[in-house]
Each structure stands twice: as C-alpha cells, then as structure tokens.
Amino acid sequence: MAPTTHRETLRDAASVITGGGLVAMPTETVYGLAADATNDKAVARIFEAKGRPQFNPLIVHVTGIDMAEKFVEMNATAKQLAVRFWPGPLTIVGPRRADASVSLLVSAGLDTVALRMPDHPTAQALINATRRPLAAPSANRSGSLSPTRAGHVEQSLGNRVDFILDDGPCVIGIESTIVKVDGEQVSILRAGAITREDLEDTLGRPLAAPGSLTKPQAPGMLESHYAPHAQLRLNVKTPEASEAFLGFGDITDDSPYALNLSVGGDLREAAANFFAYLRALDTLCENKHLNGIAAAPIPQTGLGEAINDRLKRAAAPRS
Ligand code: TXA
Ligand code: MG
C-alpha cells in the first residue's frame, strides 16, 4: 500500500499491529517490518512477507530496559550496554527467559532473543500505543537492499505490508550493530551503526571473537545479502565507462552514472546515503544497460566497518 504520514494515523497503525497485521515503521537505522512479537501468527506473517528463511531470528523492539528484562536475562554487562546505547542502534542478544511471552519464532530455534530500543519518536510511539514488543526485521524482501525511505518499502514489499508509516529518510541509514552478551563476554555478530571502538570504550576491554559459525548467527553472516540486481565491483578508483560508480570523498567521477556517498569523506553521511544510492545506481544500471556498479574504497574505520561489510556481501556471488 502507499506510504502515509503518521500523525493522524498512528492509532490506525497501532490497531493494525494489535489485530495481528504488519506495519512498516521508521527507525533511526532503516525501516522495519513490525508485528506484535507476542503473536505467533503475526510473526509468521513477517517471515512470509519477507520471503525469509525460517532459521533467521528477528529483533524485538522494546521501550527500554524494563521491557527488555521480561524477555532476556539482562546481566550487568547487557545492562551497561543498554544504559549507554539505548535508545539507539545497538541490538543486544542475550539468554531467553523461560517465561518470555514473545513468540518462539522470534528466536527461530535459538535459546536467545535479540532486543533493541529504537531512537525514533514514531517507532517508540508505536510500541507505546500497542503496549507490545514489536518484532521487526528490515522492511525489504529477504536478501535485497534495506529500505531507508518509505518509498523503498513500497517498492520491495508492495501489498505484503498492511500499513506504511512514512516519516521521511532514516537518519543513520545502516542497520544496528548486533552484539551477543555471554556472561562478561561481548562479541559483534553484525557490524553496524555503533562502532567496535564505541563498544570497547564503554566496556573498557576488547571484544571477544564471534563464536561458532556452524549456524548463521545473524543474517548479515549469510555470504550474499543486501544484494542489488547489478554486479558490484569493489575498491575501484577509476570505473569503466560502462559502469555506474559509487564514489566516496576524493575518489569520485563526473560521469552522469556516478554518485558520491560523501564528497567530504564523512562516514556518517556515507552511511545515511548508502542504501538509497546503491538502489539508485542499481536502477540506473537497468535503465541504461550498464555493466554493473563499481564502488570506491571506503576506510575500514568507525562506520566504515559496517559500510564495507554491506558492500562485501552485496558483491558476493549469489547462491
Ligand atoms: O537496525 C536494525 O537492526 C533494523 C531495524 C528495523 O531495527 N533491523 C534489522 O533486522 O536489521 P534484520 O532482521 O534485517 O536483521 C537482524 C538480524 C536477524 O536477521 C538475525 O540474524 C539477527 O538480527 N538476530 C536476531 N535475533 C538473533 C538472535 N537471537 N541471535 C543472533 N542473531 C539474531
Ligand atoms: Mg535485513
């Protein structure tokens, strides 16, 4: 369905959720496809709408530490991170409480639940209005680019979503960082908007290496993810004439098929533009019959780690 403004319609969106439906909600990272996390059928509809493999668990969005503690054993380390980074783009994976009322589908067979308190007034208002925790993956078909505008949701999911809350572009533009808390050990399952340096500064110690990868621990760990239709070539300083170009900083191109993530080389600006620009170049490739997208090198510091992670997976061979 078509995007709509939220002010008059928040109540309608909330009733879609409490009725077991799906609402695309803005967050500070990307748009999420939200459903009542305590309703099995509603959560099942998320998997169906996304075409998502069942083994991928979902992030549950909460109003804060109090709600989080109903679903996860929040130990001192988990609380320390939540106090520092919530509301905000940090997802904390911790042990699922035996009496957690969220659907077993959100854990997808794991004994953990992933929780996040979004830093976005509309997302918070929706959770408050429904008084439910909201399961919400990114609001795109599984494996394709994440939506940072309401229009992207409509393009990707169309009538598979019951309601789209349009609150303009997402400020951060890259998904949350997912950390697993295991006792005092914290490891990054998916690089994201909170950097490794931010986490290590808060904890006062280095992060642990991610655990066994026999089962995908986060979808970002599937080789090919966030894929555009066009082929993507990385670390390119000079694109071919037949290629669209995703530039960064000084590494730019004045062809009509080039966009620069941030002329000033600002990684925050680059993250905010990332998915929208990749989408735009993907469309350009199709319309102008170009051979693919070339992308400039991005420094592997701060938010660059998350951007490079998305680029690497977008360029991986498709299965
Ligand atoms: O910024 C974000 O994180 C956005 C917004 C909407 O909050 N959400 C998002 O969700 O990116 P999604 O589903 O596209 O990616 C989150 C991933 C899951 O697919 C899953 O692999 C991982 O988080 N995850 C969820 N629960 C987990 C768990 N219990 N253990 C390990 N990973 C988990
Ligand atoms: Mg996603």
Protein residue with its CA nearest to atom 19 in ligand 1: 219
Question: 146 alpha carbon to ligand 2 midpoint, in Å?
Answer: 6
Summarised one tens digit per residue, pLDDT across range 165-183 is 999 999 999 999 999 999 9
Strands 243-247 and 258-260: parallel
pLDDT of residue 212: 45
Q: What share of the chain is helix, strand, coil (3-state, %, to 5)?
A: 30, 20, 50
Diameter over CA atoms, the chain: 59
For residue 213, name the pLDDT band (cuts at 50, 70, 90).
Answer: very low
For residue 53, name the pLDDT band (cuts at 50, 70, 90).
Answer: confident
In this structure, are residues 271 and 172 in contact, taking their beta carbons and an 8 Å threshold? yes
> How far is the C-alpha of 306 from the C-alpha of 304, rounded, in Å?
5
Residue 144 Cβ < 6 Å to ligand 1: no
pLDDT of residue 220: 52
Residue 178 Cβ < 6 Å to ligand 1: yes
Question: 139 alpha carbon to ligand 2 midpoint, in Å?
Answer: 7
For residue 217, name the pLDDT band (cuts at 50, 70, 90).
Answer: low
Residue 135, pLDDT > 80, answer yes
Q: Which of 130, 102, 98, 99 is nearest to 115 (CA)?
A: 102
In this structure, are residues 183 and 169 in contact, taking their beta carbons and an 8 Å threshold? no
For residue 209, name the pLDDT band (cuts at 50, 70, 90).
Answer: confident
> How far is the C-alpha of 4 from the C-alpha of 283, rounded, in Å?
24
Summarised one tens digit per residue, pLDDT across range 143-156 is 889 999 999 999 99
pLDDT of residue 226: 77
pLDDT over 90 percentage in the chain: 85
The whole-chain average pLDDT of the chain stands at 92
Q: What is the DSSP string of 152-202?
A: HHHHHHGGGSSEEEE--S-SS-SPPEEEEEETTEEEEEE--SS-HHHHHHH
Residue 176 Cβ < 6 Å to ligand 1: yes
**Amino acid letter, residue 46:** I
Among 89-93, 184-188, 195-199, 226-230, the minimum mean pLDDT is found in: 226-230
Pick the ligand that lies closest to the CA of residue 174. 1
Q: What is the DSSP string of 267-280?
A: HHHHHHHHHHHHHH
